[in-house]
Amino acid sequence: MSANVDNPVAREAAQARPEDSLLGKGMEDGVRDHFRAYVRRVRGGEMGALPAIGGLVVLFIVFGFAHDLFLSQRNMANLLTQAAPLVMLGMALVFVLLLGEIDLSAGVTFGVSMASFVRLTQPDGLAWPVALAVALGIGLAIGGFIGFFVARVGIPSFVVTLGMFLGLQGVLLVIIGDAGAYRLIPAPIKALNTSNLPVWAGWLMLIGVLALLAGVALWDRARRSAAGAPNPPLSIMLAKLAGITVVGIAAVWFLSQDRGSGAIPIRGVPIVVPVVLGFAMVATFLLDRTRYGRYLYAIGGNREAARRAGINVTAVRWTAFVLCSTVAVLAGLFYVSRVGSADAGMGREIVLSGVAAAVVGGVSLFGGRGRLVHAIIGALVIATIQNGMGLLGLPAGTVLAVSGGVLILAATVDALARRRSGGVAVT
Amino acid sequence: MAHPPIIELRAVTKSFGPVDVLKGVDFAAHAGRVTALVGDNGAGKSTLIKGLAGVQPYDGGDVLFGGEPVRLDHPRDAAKHGIEVVYQDLALCDNLDIVQNMFLGREERRLGTFEEGQMEVEAAAALQSLSVKTVKSLRQKVSSLSGGQRQTVAIARAVVKQASVVILDEPTAALGVAQTAQVLALVRRLADHGVAVIMISHNLQDVFEVADDVSVLYLGTMTARIEVANTTREDVVGYITGTKTMEAVA
């Protein structure tokens, strides 16, 4: 590290405080060192979303060749709206997965809250914002209930949420009753996962996202400089931003083409995209930059160490379940918006896809490792499998079997990566 | 021992049900000195330490910090007085990096968000003050560190916030020969910085190498408090096993 005399920052640091030069902060080296360090981390088992991104590329190539409609604007927009509930559910589960816990009832939680929402907004019912508040309240209450039994009573989350999985299905049946299903009425909620932004708004969204990312990155650098800490090379940050910009422009341009089959043009970025991105950014901020987020990781890594560091472990674990269930309600909102109705089977099957999404994306089932963006990428993988195989006309049984296989494969990668990084089992 | 002790216990007691674990123990640690706490299994070492850490308050007796009586009823109370404990089973999170571990539970923040740069600089300064030079990057995960390096991080974690008393629970128990030497040197430097170091150890070789004072617990009573320079290994073994006694030399 100190041998790298070609690096002006390191040289400067070495000259300023010679005795410091042996203590690398892991930031001051050149692009090549950062790349090497990255390769070392990947080989050491910290693969992050790499396998999922690779899988996504392979799936796109395979399905693109297998069916000529797969890469059409229409199907891609369709894929995004199909994936939206799964993306949201995957992100919800990240909060508990980081603790090394699981919530098997996240799907039926959105089932119960959405059944309530749809019923409450039937004609002569409540205004939809009120009903939505009630639905979120239901999610909050369910999460609080689960969290109490896991964090306070000390029952394994697997057992508590399996119980909730069964119990809430019963509640869902009671709410839906003999009607079998209820139609979704409120127009804004219907539009949420069925309509598109105007073309100009799609571009505006892209500019907003890029400006925010660049602004945060520059602010970070300024803060680090002010504290006297070295910054990683500017070129790395610029390359990352450039990559996101290129992908973003391509995606927005692609979705801005007319994909309608009739006289009325259909174009624009689906409305769910900015909603999901907005949530992902806020929640990533929470996980990366606040004590609450750091403590989720710490508890997932070593609960006893977290406790000794003075962290209120019970409160953090409890609230993680509240967050998971509440965000799951939003996943349900995307789901009913797309389907247009609420029925008694809602959310029963999607929960394992949600877990699969997070794990496929690189969130560890053992806790302490993973990011929200992993859940997004993983959900896109699962949704792509379902979408592509559906296009090819494969039977539902095959789709289920393949999805299950992918989950086990991802969990295997997770377990092997964990072994390689030298982690030990922490209960 | 010209200076008054920075922390002093007077006749502290602790019972679990009918079992008296600490039967009126006197103990003191001085700034800039390493005080070894030795004793056989079940002598009450851990209970004494847990009381100092505020994890398990004493039932009776007085705790004096800098000559003033204080209460240590919660880990927060201990932290407030700058009492830090480095536990035997290294209370570090494998999935976090060195800086994150050193600041866990007391992160530097502005507007609710982390000051990562500031924490990095302070972590580097803390390691620097302990003359640690073997760490390649402060941003590597603790899972990639060796046992000695982990112990180093755990000790640095204790000093990053200007600790006045650092309690080390068997700091060399899991280490090899070279790493033990490194950690003992670290313990010495810690004391040289003016910290009162309390070191629990089973290893008398370590004790005689690094400690200034030694306190021996035997079945819940302090059987010996003596300067290392004024005793021999045979005597200390005698105090530990209860075959030899002496009146407290406070």
What is the tens place of the pLDDT at every residue in A245-282? Answer: 999 999 999 999 988 887 888 889 999 999 999 999 99
**Spacing of C-alpha B213 from chain mean position:** 14
Instruction: Indicate the pLDDT class of residue A29, thresholds 50, 70 and 90.
Output: low
Mean pLDDT, to the nearest integer, of A399-422?
83
Which residues have CB under 8 Å from B72's CB, separation 6+?
B51, B52, B53, B54, B57, B58, B63, B78, B81, B83
* ipTM score for this prediction: 0.84
Window from A174-188, B125-139, B190-204 with minimum mean pLDDT: B125-139
CA distance A293 to A98: 10
Residues of A in contact with B138 (CB under 8 A): 23-26
Q: Which residues contact A343 (CB under 8 A, 6 or more apart)?
A: A176, A180, A181, A182
Closest CA to A363 of A375, A349, A347, A351: A375
Comparing A70 with A13, the larger pLDDT belongs to A70
Q: Hey, which residues 308-347 in chain A have their CB within 8 Å of chain B?
A: 308-311
- Banded pLDDT at B247 (limits 50, 70, 90): low
Report pLDDT for B130: 78
Average pLDDT over residues A116-141: 94
Segments making up each domain of chain A, as ranges: 67-194+298-419, 196-269
The average pLDDT across A287-293 equals 94
> Best interface-test mutation with B: which of A1, A291, A292 has the largest number of B CBs within 10 A?
A291
Find the residue in B nearest to A287 (Cα).
B113
The 3-state DSSP class for residue B107 equals: coil
Q: Shortest Cα distance from A328 to chain B (angstroms)?
A: 26
Q: How far apart are CA B126 and CA B109, in angstroms?
A: 18
Instruction: Tell me: pLDDT of A7 over 50.
Output: no
- A240 to chain B, any CB pair closer than 8 A? The answer is no
The reported pLDDT for the residue numbered A259 is: 87
pLDDT, residue A51, reads 85
For residue A337, what pLDDT is reported?
A: 95
**Does domain A67-194+298-419 match CATH 1.10.3470?**
yes
**Would you call A298 an interface residue with chain B, using a CB distance cutoff of 8 Å?**
yes
Residue A302, pLDDT above cutoff 80:
yes
Residue A23, chain B, CB below 8 Å: the answer is yes
Q: Looking at the complex, report in whole angstroms how far the Cα of residue B87 sits from the nearest Cα belonging to chain A.
A: 9
Q: What pLDDT, on the 0 to 100 scale, is given for residue A410?
A: 85
Average pLDDT in chain A: 88
Indicate whether A110 pLDDT > 90. Answer: yes
Q: Kindly state the average pLDDT of the residues A112-125.
A: 93
Say which residue the tokens 């370590």 belong to.
B206
| A97: confidence class by pLDDT, cuts 50, 70, 90 | very high
How does pLDDT run across A190-209, given as a tens digit for each residue?
999 999 999 999 999 999 99
**Would the CB atoms of B112 and A290 count as touching at under 8 Å?**
yes
Q: Chain B: nearest CA to A229, how far in angstroms?
A: 5
- Do B187 and B168 meet the contact criterion of CB atoms below 8 Å apart? yes
Q: Residue B183 corresponds to which tokens in the numbers above?
A: 């950690």
Give the C-alpha separation, A140 to A116, whole Å. 14
B146 in reach of chain A (CB within 8 A): no
| A16 has pLDDT over 70 | no
With CB atoms and an 8 Å threshold, state whether B127 touches A23: yes
Task: State whether residue B212 is helix, strand or coil.
Answer: coil
- Rounded to the nearest angstrom, the minimum Cα separation between B79 and chain A is 9
Q: Determine whether domain B7-93+163-241 maps to CATH 2.60.15.10.
A: no
> Which of these ranges, A35-49, B23-37, B66-80, has the smallest mean pLDDT?
A35-49
Average pLDDT of span B123-129: 85
Reported residue count of chain B is 250
